[in-house]
């Protein structure tokens, strides 16, 4: 029996990455219904079976601040429900005051229009499905407006003329073209179906109102008013829907208060689910100069407490090293989240292949392989998207040169090589011949200075690019792209941990840093423990025999 992976995102940027990821995943699944490449859909989503249809809902809970946009699903609280809730809590006179929701994007409104049109069309088909052939020909002459009016007269659901599906599709395409400037929130471009259990709004935290910038703020929030148990229940709901739980895919804005929330949540996940595998993707939004000192402090807490609860911990960001062939605006959260989503899509592809497919690997096997020789859970990622087409081993150099880091802080200085512990290559659509791809990757790695255990997963289909994806590709809006993803654990982590240690020491010694840490109840003893932890881990990755494994 196949295992399922539960996804949890902590923070707005993490949810933005997850929204792109699930959009890609939905298109991938639709495409694979036509071209079967042995995809195991049990990993992808939870199946809701209704009386007339089957719908796929992601096994995903998004922990985020409350938003004036309201819920992203149609199951939100109605005004009557709100009034009833107020009446139950207060016996005197009461009124309900509601701020108007922020205007949603044109694409989100077009999706709602499409859903209504499809529902009306489905109702019409059900209504006329049993009529005889002659009646069917007569009804077909009524046209769109006439059919809708007749449906209303007969008690159907459509009171207005049916939408022309060509007009609906045209409106979707036009709205998607504007998302680069129109999108202000991840709900503006998410196109997969959600239910009310996909969202968990943090009590007392509002998008754009409460800063929630510090790791310690998140720890304080989750430790008060039984909120820790509420977070556990939100995750437990999705776990209980799994026949076999394979592990957890965690996306976290760990350079913020959501890092503290996530760290405590993962402690409970470890205790509740018998140490099931946890893969943490640290999703880093575009850097802001005014947040530099806070980021220095947050990074140290994330690299110690959050990484300690992870089987594999992989920071992701749209780095300045990214491919010059892409039009990625590094200060755009919409673009940055899309770059991270493509990396996650590549890394997790082996998880959803059926077991008899070469290169298939579940989350536990991948994490165990990547950390078997490494002294800790830290990993980095390189990608080539869009990757060049290949014809054989002679294209190895071209493929190698096209790869760029999607993990911040690990790029080696000129002339310095890092010794890898393990590597996992995932290729999508590089060639229709999997043996050509395998030989090219082998030729590429043969040029490396160091040898290490390496695995590869080769899929001949390309990565689909959904309609609401940002226009970052030179060819405009392709329907799919080739990709190569390289997941690595290596000694480069030494530099990253050393930098985090140096930054934390400097930031924590400043007057502002001391004030912030005091607000987080972090005393001198805890600061010293963080510094020692970072130093020990850095020495372990550098190959110091005196350093203890962790």
All structural domains of the chain with their residue ranges:
4-44+52-64+180-494, 107-177, 495-541
Element containing residue 350 per DSSP (H, E)? none
Mean pLDDT of 198-226: 89
Asked if 312 and 379 count as a contact pair (C-beta separation under 8 A), the reply is yes
| Predicted local confidence at residue 146, as pLDDT | 47
Place 287 in a pLDDT band, splitting at 50, 70 and 90: confident
232 vs 327: which has the higher pLDDT: 232
223-243 burial: b if 16+ Cβ within 10 Å, else e: eeeebbeebbebbbbbbebbe
pLDDT tops 80 at residue 533: yes
pLDDT tops 80 at residue 335: yes
158 vs 282: which has the higher pLDDT: 282
Determine which of 157-171, 386-400, 425-439 has the lowest per-residue pLDDT on average. 157-171
Asked if 53 and 223 count as a contact pair (C-beta separation under 8 A), the reply is no
| Predicted local confidence at residue 123, as pLDDT | 74
Place 19 in a pLDDT band, splitting at 50, 70 and 90: very high
Mean pLDDT of 149-177: 69
Asked if 539 and 528 count as a contact pair (C-beta separation under 8 A), the reply is no
| Predicted local confidence at residue 78, as pLDDT | 33
| Predicted local confidence at residue 524, as pLDDT | 92
Give per-residue pLDDT as tens, 6-15: 999 999 999 9
pLDDT tops 80 at residue 324: no
In the numeric block, the tokens 């490396």 are attached to 448
124 vs 395: which has the higher pLDDT: 395
255 vs 550: which has the higher pLDDT: 255
| Predicted local confidence at residue 312, as pLDDT | 98
Q: What is the mean pLDDT of the chain?
A: 84
pLDDT tops 70 at residue 385: yes
| Predicted local confidence at residue 53, as pLDDT | 59
490 bridge partner residues: 420
Asked if 292 and 506 count as a contact pair (C-beta separation under 8 A), the reply is no
Mean pLDDT of 335-355: 93
Give per-residue pLDDT as tens, 423-472: 999 999 999 999 999 999 999 999 888 899 999 999 999 999 999 999 99
Mean pLDDT of 324-347: 90
Place 16 in a pLDDT band, splitting at 50, 70 and 90: very high
Q: Answer positive or negative: Cα dihedral of 20, 411, 259, 270.
A: positive
pLDDT-above-70 percentage for the chain:
78
Q: Which residues contact 506 (CB under 8 A, 6 or more apart)?
A: 296
381-419 burial: b if 16+ Cβ within 10 Å, else e: bbbbbbbeebeebebbeebbebbbbbbbbbbeeeeeebe
DSSP single-letter state for residue 288: -
| Predicted local confidence at residue 290, as pLDDT | 87
Q: Name which of 374, 403, 342, 402 is nearest 492 in CA terms.
A: 374
Top-confidence range, 20-34, 136-150, 273-287, 535-549 = 273-287
23 vs 274: which has the higher pLDDT: 23
CATH class of 4-44+52-64+180-494: alpha beta
Place 372 in a pLDDT band, splitting at 50, 70 and 90: very high
In angstroms, the first-to-last Cα distance of the chain is 33
Mean pLDDT of 52-61: 79
| Predicted local confidence at residue 79, as pLDDT | 35
- Interatomic CA distance for residues 453 and 412, integer angstroms: 21
pLDDT tops 70 at residue 189: yes
| Predicted local confidence at residue 357, as pLDDT | 77
Backbone angles phi, psi at 541, to 5 degrees: -70, -25
Give per-residue pLDDT as tens, 497-515: 999 999 999 999 999 999 9
| Predicted local confidence at residue 82, as pLDDT | 41
Element containing residue 304 per DSSP (H, E)? none
pLDDT tops 70 at residue 158: no
pLDDT tops 50 at residue 22: yes
Give per-residue pLDDT as tens, 102-124: 678 999 999 998 888 888 777 77
| Predicted local confidence at residue 326, as pLDDT | 80
DSSP single-letter state for residue 318: -
| Predicted local confidence at residue 44, as pLDDT | 55
Give per-residue pLDDT as tens, 474-492: 877 899 999 999 999 999 9
Strands 277-283 and 45-49: unpaired
Q: For residue 513, count other CB atoms closer than 10 A to its CB.
A: 19
In the numeric block, the tokens 């009461």 are attached to 94
pLDDT tops 70 at residue 138: no
| Predicted local confidence at residue 359, as pLDDT | 87
Mean pLDDT of 11-33: 86
């Amino acid at each position: 029996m196949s295992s399922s992976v539960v996804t949890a995102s902590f923070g707005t940027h993490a949810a933005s990455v997850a929204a792109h990821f699930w959009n890609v995943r939905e298109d991938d699944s639709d495409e694979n219904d036509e071209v079967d490449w042995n995809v195991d859909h049990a990993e992808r989503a939870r199946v809701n079976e209704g009386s007339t249809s089957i719908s796929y809902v992601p096994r995903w809970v998004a922990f985020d601040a409350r938003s004036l946009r309201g819920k992203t699903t149609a199951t939100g609280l109605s005004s009557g429900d709100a009034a009833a809730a107020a009446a139950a809590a207060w016996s005197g006179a009461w009124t309900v005051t509601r701020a108007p929701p922020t205007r949603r994007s044109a694409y989100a409104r077009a999706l709602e229009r499409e859903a209504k049109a499809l529902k009306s069309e489905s109702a019409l088909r059900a209504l006329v499905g049993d009529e005889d052939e002659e009646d069917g020909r007569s009804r077909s002459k009524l046209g769109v407006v006439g059919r809708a009016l007749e449906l209303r007269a007969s008690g159907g659901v459509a009171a207005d003329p049916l939408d022309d599906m060509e007009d609906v599709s045209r409106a979707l395409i036009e709205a998607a073209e504007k998302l680069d400037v129109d999108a202000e929130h991840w709900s503006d471009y998410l196109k997969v179906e959600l239910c009310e259990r996909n969202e968990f709004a943090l009590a007392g935290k509002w998008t754009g109102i409460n800063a929630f910038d510090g790791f310690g703020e998140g720890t304080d929030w989750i430790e008060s008013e039984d909120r820790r148990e509420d977070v556990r229940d939100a995750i437990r709901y999705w776990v209980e829907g799994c026949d076999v739980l394979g592990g957890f895919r965690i996306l976290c804005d760990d350079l913020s208060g959501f890092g503290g929330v996530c760290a405590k949540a993962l402690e409970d996940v470890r205790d509740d689910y018998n140490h099931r595998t946890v893969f943490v993707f640290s999703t880093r939004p575009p850097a802001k100069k005014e947040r530099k000192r806070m980021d220095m402090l947050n990074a140290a807490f994330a690299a110690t407490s959050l990484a300690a609860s992870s089987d594999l911990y992989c920071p992701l960001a749209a780095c300045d090293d990214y491919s010059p062939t892409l039009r990625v605006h590094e200060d755009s959260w919409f673009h940055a989240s899309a770059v991270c989503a493509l990396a996650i899509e590549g890394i997790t592809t082996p998880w959803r292949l059926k077991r008899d497919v070469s290169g298939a690997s579940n989350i536990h096997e991948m994490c165990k392989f990547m950390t078997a020789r490494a002294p800790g859970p830290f990993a980095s990622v390189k990608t080539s998207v869009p990757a060049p087409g290949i014809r054989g081993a002679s294209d190895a150099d071209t493929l190698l040169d096209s790869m760029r880091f999607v993990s911040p802080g690990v790029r080696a200085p000129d002339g310095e090589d890092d010794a890898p512990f393990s590597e996992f290559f995932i290729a999508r659509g590089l060639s229709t011949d999997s043996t050509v791809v395998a030989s090219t990757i082998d030729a590429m790695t043969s040029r490396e200075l160091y040898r290490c255990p390496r695995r590869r997963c080769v899929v001949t289909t390309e990565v689909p690019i959904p309609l609401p994806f940002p226009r970052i590709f030179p060819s405009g809006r392709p329907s799919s792209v080739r990709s190569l993803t390289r997941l690595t654990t290596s000694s480069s982590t030494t530099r990253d941990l050393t930098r985090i240690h140096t930054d934390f020491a400097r930031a924590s010694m400043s007057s502002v840093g001391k004030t912030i840490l005091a607000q987080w109840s972090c005393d001198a003893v805890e600061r010293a423990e963080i510094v020692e932890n970072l130093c020990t881990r850095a020495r372990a990755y550098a190959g110091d025999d005196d350093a203890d494994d962790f």
